[in-house]
Amino acid sequence: MQINSNKIKKIREPHLRAPIIKELKSRFSPRFFNSERINNKNLRSIFEAARWAPSAYNDQPWYFYWANHGSNSYQKIKLCLSEKNKWAKTASAFIISCYIKKSKRGINKYAQYDLGQAVMAMIIQAQSMGIYARQMALFDKKKLQKILHIPLKYTPFVIVAMGKLGDYKKINDEELLARELNKRERKNNVATRI
């Protein structure tokens, strides 16, 4: 079957029950990217969106490291990915999303939640620029921290693979393509009035 990026977008389009903003409607998490670099202006906007995410006590308990496709750091990050995430080798950039456990007030019980908000802000900003993202939790966190010399105060939590959609005509992994063609499922009910 001949698949192009527009067909993938159509397949991944959600069936909405109510209107939502276009960045959320068009967002999905691909596994096949165009490895062309994300320009610095766009990266600055993506990280600025994270900077303005809400957080408990305004602690902003997050920090990010990023590497462009082909760089030495990018190769080191690839070494830490689980076998299930080897598809990520086509991403334009990897963003290591870290949370900060301690603040002036002691242990921050909301640090992971706040990091999640900052990452979602980045992803929605990226989506508004036609840049897609997929988050990965399966990686060797200790190895990553060691080989990239990430200070212990920053705890790597997820790696975000980011980039423009790849040309699906060039995908040479049938299993990966089949996963990309899967219907997007969502649970039926997420809220009840009380």
* Tokens 């830490």 found at: 80
Burial 51-63 (b: 16+ CB within 10 A, else e): eebebbeebbbbb
Which tokens in the block code for residue 173? Answer: 């992994």
pLDDT tens series, the chain, 194 aa: 567 888 888 888 898 999 999 999 999 999 999 989 999 999 999 999 999 999 999 999 999 999 999 999 999 999 999 999 989 999 999 999 999 999 888 999 999 999 999 999 999 999 999 999 999 999 999 999 999 999 999 999 999 999 999 988 888 888 888 888 887 888 888 999 99
Beta bridge mates, 158: 97
Sketch the domain layout of the chain as residue ranges: 37-180
Which tokens in the block code for residue 124? Answer: 């929605």
Which tokens in the block code for residue 118? Answer: 């900052």
37-180 belongs to which homologous superfamily? NADH Oxidase (3.40.109.10)
Tell me how long the chain is.
194
